Amino acid sequence: LVNIARTMGLGVDPDLTPGRYGLYESEARRRAWWDIWWWDAYTSTLSSRAPLIPLHAFSTRLPLDVDEEVFTSACTSAPLLSPTGKEGVGRWFGMRVRLAQLVKDINFRTSLLSSLEHPSVLLSLEHASQCEAEIKQWVLDLPPAFRIGNEGMGEESCMPPHSSMALSSNASHGGTPPTLLAQRLDILMTTYRLAMGLYLPCLRPHSSSSSQS
């Protein structure tokens, strides 16, 4: 998939070839490339492999946060979402990509430390704690609609079990639309997985010792 995307030229920003693509197609190409980039970052984290697309190996810039309901191929200018306006697929896509950037950056620094002659000196609880602080700050900087409550799921954690089955109804989750709830949980799972992965190297040296608590 990565090779096909490169063959299609998706790794080159459309603005570098003036007049070839219209506004709508340019944004579609950017989204296609960054969607592939995001999956590369996500799957490389799950499999502990090096990403296929390095951070600085392409020129395609981030897609715009546009209002999906009015953005069509007939548009001559991008209908941008205001910072305090409604949430939408456009805003979510940009956030997901920025989260992938954070994941790749932390994984790159961690793998760099692992490749050193004495990685245990640097791959410490201090390193994990510093990276965890970056993750927490990223979550705190999210738009309010995408933030998770102190209990992990916000108002959803207070709902009775039978209500959690009715995802088709906005009212079954305190008025939270099902799509927005899924986006919140995706952020939650990705950030928690990243944070837990940081501490695994600190646990492994003691995993074979039954005397360690």
Rounded distance, CA 17 to CA 187, Å? 34
Q: Does the pLDDT of residue 171 top 60, yes or no?
A: no
Least confident of 34-48, 129-143, 193-207: 193-207
Stronger pLDDT, 10 or 118, i.e. the higher one: 10
Cα–Cα–Cα angle for 161, 162, 164, nearest 5°? Answer: 70
Q: Taking a C-beta distance cutoff of 8 angstroms, is the pair 173, 181 a contact?
A: yes
The pLDDT tens digits for 125-146 are: 788 888 899 999 988 888 777 8
Question: Cα torsion at 137, 142, 147, 149 (round to 10°)?
Answer: 30
